Structure 1
Amino acid sequence: MSEAAGASSEDGLPTRTFGPPASVVIGTLVTGFVFVVVLEFLVIISFIGQRLWNDPALMHDALFTLPLALWVLVAATVTATCLRVLTAWLQIDEEGLALRSLLRRTRASRWADVGQVIAVRDLTRAASPAEMLSVSETAYDGVYVLDPAGHRIVAVSSRFFGPRAQQMALRRAREAGVQITHIDAITPAELRAKAPQAMSFVDRHPNLLLLVLAVFYVGHNVLTFAVWGL
């Protein structure tokens, strides 16, 4: 899925709908394959190589079944996450904006109900995998649309929706008289102090998420070797 649009405006910007660019689509599919197949290779070859579907303990012994159950959980979680990313589309117009996708609760708001928009040019931190995707030098690291209480309605990322989506969000917000705060550079901790609800937990701690994933996959492979062997 690439950027989609309705009729074009006078400056050539799409007027309504934006989806993930090709780089995000390819990156999502590759990442899903890595998580489900590459990092679970020991589980897969142990299960297939030993024809464990014929083992009477499978589905009857909890410990013996656990490695397979965890792999199914991983496959389901990764599939759901990929679908959320690949089917995401962001609609922005003069009335408001809405983020929709499969397996995701729709986030929508009218501009009249938006408290402020924070546009961060450079969110300074160690690069996470998502941040390693190529991005335009003119794009913002994040455009955060907040309600009057400071809770995030949607974060418009240039990496997942493209810089034109950010430009359109800022343009429509400006036309609606919404307060826009531009920040050239800020750390996640400083942004959290300024707007506590602007970033999600994963946004604030991407390296912690990577650590948890690494521990899980190492533990799963160790468990598989201990229970099933090779």
Structure 2
Amino acid sequence: MISTPDTASTASDGDLPTRTYGPPATVVVGTLVVALIFLVVLEFLVIISFIGQRLWRHPEMMHDLVFTLPLIVWAAMAALVTVVCLRVITSWLQIHETGFELRSLFRRTRAARWDEVGTVIAVRDIDRGYTPAEMLDASETAYDGVYVMDRSGRRILAVSSRFFGSRAQEMALQRAREAGVGIEHIDAITPVELRRQVPQAMSFVDRHPNLLLVALLAFYLGHNLLTFIVWGL
């Protein structure tokens, strides 16, 4: 872990106006593409079985639990993907001199004043290995994560450059600095070291992205296998 002291930003308030930050167009498009993959591409067997056999006419559909189970699971996944998609693309973060507020559909509003914040941790590089996210070109001014922690060490807000952009991160740091909040800059650290130093900075998904991918793969393999056994092709 390489840590450097906080230094004042060279940007002025004119360069960083108080405003609302939302996900960039690339995130919106990417989210919609991923949702399409989850609902259509990975569920292709379910869809062609349902449509090809016209199962909505089958007498056991909606009357027999086992026969209807593949459709129930697909509907549940469709609802979950829709909720996650709307939660991401409708997110907006407002940062001002007295505090900040994060809102979106299907999310509990997070709002706090700067005098409630204990510290802000700005991590330039979280070394997760050679993942697709790591191989993407990132702005030299962006941090992997800016974590706003309360006085008891719990995370209030995580400002991601991928979801809100580097300007939102710079604004959060500048407003925290103006409010007298302590800022710790970390140049490079591994997820394990970050978890050891600040246990609640990263979410479970942040700490275990590969585990999430394995769980998703197992779910889709299981669902397609269930569909093949119950409905056939």
Match of 1:197 in 2: 200
**Identity across aligned pairs (percent)?**
71
Match of 1:22 in 2: 25
Q: Distance in 1 between matches of 2:141 and 2:14?
A: 17
Whether contact under 8 Å (1:32, 1:79) holds in the other structure is yes
Sort the Cα spacing of 1:171 and 1:201 in 2 relative to 1 into closer, same or farther, 3 A.
same
Match of 1:58 in 2: 61
Whether contact under 8 Å (1:128, 1:206) holds in the other structure is no
Whether contact under 8 Å (1:116, 1:147) holds in the other structure is yes
Superposed displacement of residue 133, structure 1: 5.3
Match of 2:116 in 1: 113
Whether contact under 8 Å (2:128, 2:134) holds in the other structure is no
Q: Secondary structure at the match of 1:180?
A: strand
Q: Secondary structure at the match of 2:16?
A: coil
* 1:73 aligned to which of 73, 76, 79: 76
Cα deviations by residue, 1:153-189 (Å, 9 ceiling, x for unpaired) = 0100000000000000000000000010000000111
* 1:96 aligned to which of 77, 95, 99: 99
Q: Secondary structure at the match of 2:141?
A: coil
Whether contact under 8 Å (1:122, 1:185) holds in the other structure is yes
Sort the Cα spacing of 1:128 and 1:26 in 2 relative to 1 into closer, same or farther, 3 A.
farther
Q: Distance in 2 between matches of 1:99 and 1:188?
A: 25
Q: Secondary structure at the match of 1:172?
A: helix
* Alignment gaps of 5+ in structure 1: 1-8
Query: Could you tell me which amino acid in structure 2 is paired with residue 166 of structure 1?
Result: Q
Match of 1:5 in 2: none
Whether contact under 8 Å (2:67, 2:230) holds in the other structure is yes
Match of 1:165 in 2: 168
Q: Secondary structure at the match of 2:102?
A: strand
Please state if 1:141 is matched with 2:114.
Answer: no
Match of 1:181 in 2: 184
Please state if 1:123 is matched with 2:129.
Answer: no
Q: Distance in 2 between matches of 1:113 and 1:184?
A: 26
Q: Secondary structure at the match of 1:123?
A: coil
Which piece of structure 1 moves more, 40-49 or 57-66? 57-66
Cα deviations by residue, 1:59-116 (Å, 9 ceiling, x for unpaired) = 1111111100010011000000000000000010001011100010001110000010
Whether contact under 8 Å (1:128, 1:207) holds in the other structure is no
Q: Secondary structure at the match of 1:117?
A: strand
Looking at both structures, which has the greater relative contact order when contacts are Cα pairs under 8 Å and sequence separation is at least 6?
2
Match of 2:90 in 1: 87
Q: Distance in 1 between matches of 2:174 and 2:56?
A: 57
Q: Distance in 1 between matches of 2:197 and 2:38?
A: 35
Q: Distance in 1 between matches of 2:137 and 2:171?
A: 20
Superposed displacement of residue 130, structure 1: 5.3
Query: Could you tell me which amino acid in structure 1 is paired with residue 52 of structure 2?
Result: G
Cα deviations by residue, 1:33-57 (Å, 9 ceiling, x for unpaired) = 0000100010000000000001111
TM-score (norm 2): 0.92
Q: Distance in 2 between matches of 1:152 and 1:195?
A: 9
Q: Distance in 1 between matches of 2:15 and 2:122?
A: 22
Query: Could you tell me which amino acid in structure 2 is paired with residue 73 of structure 1?
Result: A
